[in-house]
Amino acid sequence: MKKFFMIQIAIIVFALLFANAAFALAYYYPESYEGGVKGDSEYQEMLFITGEPVLLKGTVRVSLGRLRDGKRQDRITYSLFSDDKSVNLSRSITLSVTMEGQKEKSQIKTTCEVIRASETVSVKKENGASERYTLKSYSLTASTITDISAAVDYSATIIRGSKVYEVNNGQGTVTVEISGKGVGYDSAWGATESRQIQLLISSRRKADLKKGTEAFSWKGSVEEELSLSRTRDISYVENQPTRISFKGAYAEIKKEESIASYSYDLPRFDENGMPEDKRNRGSKVISLSLTPKSEMAYIPKVADLAGHWARSDAEKLLALGIIRQEGSYFWPKIPAKRLEFALAMGRLTDAAARAERWAELFENTSTRKSRKTVQSSLPFDDLVLSEEDAAYVLALSEMGVMEGTTPRRFSPNENLTRAQVVTIMVRALGLEKNIPRMYRLGFKDEGEIPPWAKDAVYVGSSIGLVRGDEAGYFRPDDPVTRAEAAAFLNRFMTYLKDDLRRDFRDRLMEF
């Protein structure tokens, strides 16, 4: 596994941006600020400042502040013990969080700073002696930039800081230097942040004439790779009985998990507690998760998908409500229409809720569009929709995913081409911004792909959203059937819930 120096402290909270109720996501663990992991009722982290690796377990309480003018303060308190109760940690931290955004760039900058902190670590030695580590100073800043797209928010974080502990009322000090970075993403179908932090520890002790010990010092380093993830998995559950009205149904399982991998290089100590020339090198992995939440989806019943190649794609989307069923037929061979594809994309990405959440930061609350006036806010004269559907179309339009065919016209019943569908998906992912200056598409009909679609086709084919036919043709101007649209949407969903996680967690953590 690739190694990056780190210790148990000073990791910026994943999704710190969304902690306030106005921007609330289900996924926010400020307690992971100290590099630990959390389950339903227990928190764990590794402690290294004593010179020996110690696993601590216990409870953590989080008090989230209220966001006012882009600023907020959060407080986190910890009460932790080692399994044998020989090590006891009590800690309280207050974080100052400042957020500011640039709407024209669709970006948010979040700055986090420790403004108050107290921490005490009590250690009982095997020989009956005891030690006490008291935090004297804690300076840390972390800056996160988040780039917003219709389907995914991408973030990068940089962290710098230091901690200084006093040992036994002036008998010595322990200094911890912290630096690191992290990357993450958040979507309706999953979220992950992977962090890599470097920490260097240095300890100095004065001579103790009463105990007859000499002055000594030691240095060490600890590496941690931390992954925080939220997932949504979809599986088909087949029924065993034969005398039942349906063969099976889709189930959705939501999980939240945190994993920390430590690798340490510390001194060895003799029986008198003095550091030796030999080193104590090792590793430790800890992980905790919340209890998974499962939910069965409705059973789609359509008469024209039996034996069809897109049956699984279509039935999954119907079961999840991403495509709405009307009547008893799916009509897989007829062309997909612009409006029905836009609504499916809106539901799949949760575009309306995402757009509204960001509007609360980018726009003054008094000027934001009320959900009651979404229909009147649509920039298209040829659409009359429910408020829910209008919110999806408005969000996709404002975020540049789907435009009108002409000014003020959406043309809801027009067919979609393959080139248009791929362009819509890539725009929703925000990946059209990162294109090499020169590339080849590799399709035999590359020259027939419209210039405005070439970048999207390059990205879509590179990440597996789109493939050519068996003869190597892309067929950019072919109308997309409802069956093909279902396949495109299902592939897009798989990318959001599986492929991004593999890139941001599994590849970086080498799972």
Average pLDDT (413-433) is 94
What does the pLDDT read at residue 365?
38
Within a domain: 409: yes
Better pLDDT: 98 or 359: 98
Predicted confidence (pLDDT) per residue in 472-491, tens digit? 999 999 999 999 999 999 99
Distance CA 354, CA 395 (A): 8
What does the pLDDT read at residue 30?
59
Q: Both 312 and 372 in a single domain?
A: yes
Q: Both 67 and 111 in a single domain?
A: yes
Q: Both 50 and 100 in a single domain?
A: yes
| Mean pLDDT over the full length of the chain | 87
Can you point out the beta strands (E) in 335-420? none
Better pLDDT: 115 or 361: 115
Average pLDDT (330-344) is 97
Buried b (16+ CB within 10 A) or exposed e, 41-51: eebbbbbbbbb
* Region label for 337, one of left (φ > 0), alpha (ψ between -120 and 50) or beta (otherwise): beta
What does the pLDDT read at residue 85?
95
What does the pLDDT read at residue 360?
66
Q: Where are the alpha helices (DSSP H) in 265-324?
A: 311-320
Q: Both 480 and 346 in a single domain?
A: yes
Q: Both 135 and 25 in a single domain?
A: yes
Last residue of a domain, one of 269, 293, 317: 293
Predicted confidence (pLDDT) per residue in 281-291, tens digit? 999 999 999 99
Last residue of a domain, one of 258, 293, 328: 293
Residue 111 has pLDDT above 50, yes or no: yes
Q: Both 175 and 239 in a single domain?
A: yes
Structure tokens at 262: 């430590």
Distance CA 233, CA 498 (A): 9
Q: Both 232 and 376 in a single domain?
A: no
What does the pLDDT read at residue 363?
60
Q: Which amino acid is at 493?
A: M
Average pLDDT (181-195) is 93
Alpha-carbon distance values, 413 to 147, 330, 417, 486 (Å): 33, 17, 13, 17
Distance CA 402, CA 342 (A): 8
Q: Both 187 and 328 in a single domain?
A: no
Q: Both 249 and 362 in a single domain?
A: no
- Among the listed residues 93, 87, 162, 78, the one whose alpha carbon sits nearest the alpha carbon of residue 121: 87
Better pLDDT: 295 or 357: 295
Last residue of a domain, one of 293, 326, 350: 293
Which one-letter DSSP state was computed for residue 66?
P
What does the pLDDT read at residue 358?
72
Can you point out the beta strands (E) in 125-215? 130-148, 152-167, 172-187, 190-205
pTM: 0.87
For 81-123, give the DSSP string: E-TTS-EEEEEEEEEEEEEEEEGGGTEEEEEEEEEEEEEEEEE
Within a domain: 507: no
What does the pLDDT read at residue 507?
60
Residue 29 has pLDDT above 60, yes or no: no
Distance CA 350, CA 496 (A): 12
Average pLDDT (57-61) is 95
Predicted confidence (pLDDT) per residue in 348-393, tens digit? 999 988 887 777 666 643 334 444 467 778 899 999 999 999 999 9
Within a domain: 3: no
137 within 8 A of 164, measured Cβ to Cβ: yes
Confidence grade of residue 74 (pLDDT, cut at 50, 70, 90)? very high
Which one-letter DSSP state was computed for residue 496?
I
Distance CA 463, CA 303 (A): 33
Of the listed ranges 19-23, 114-118, 215-219, the least confidently predicted one is: 19-23
Instruction: Indicate the number of domains in the chain.
Output: 2
101 within 8 A of 89, measured Cβ to Cβ: no
76 within 8 A of 92, measured Cβ to Cβ: yes
Alpha-carbon distance values, 349 to 28, 359, 503 (Å): 20, 16, 19
Better pLDDT: 480 or 26: 480
Q: Both 228 and 188 in a single domain?
A: yes
Q: Both 303 and 286 in a single domain?
A: no
Predicted confidence (pLDDT) per residue in 119-154, tens digit? 999 999 887 789 999 999 999 999 999 999 999 999
**Which of 35-39, 60-64, 172-176 is modeled with the greatest confidence?**
172-176
Paired sense of beta strands 130-148 and 190-205, if any: unpaired
- The residue range of the domain holding 143 is 16-293
Within a domain: 509: no
Structure tokens at 446: 């590359």
Which one-letter DSSP state was computed for residue 298?
P
Structure tokens at 289: 């998760």
Within a domain: 10: no
Within a domain: 428: yes
Q: Both 98 and 133 in a single domain?
A: yes
Which one-letter DSSP state was computed for residue 198?
E
Distance CA 139, CA 164 (A): 9
Within a domain: 511: no
Q: Which amino acid is at 306?
A: A
Within a domain: 397: yes
What does the pLDDT read at residue 263?
95
Confidence grade of residue 273 (pLDDT, cut at 50, 70, 90)? confident
Q: What percent of the chain has pLDDT over 90?
A: 71
Of the listed ranges 77-86, 157-166, 437-446, the least confidently predicted one is: 437-446
Distance CA 467, CA 53 (A): 50
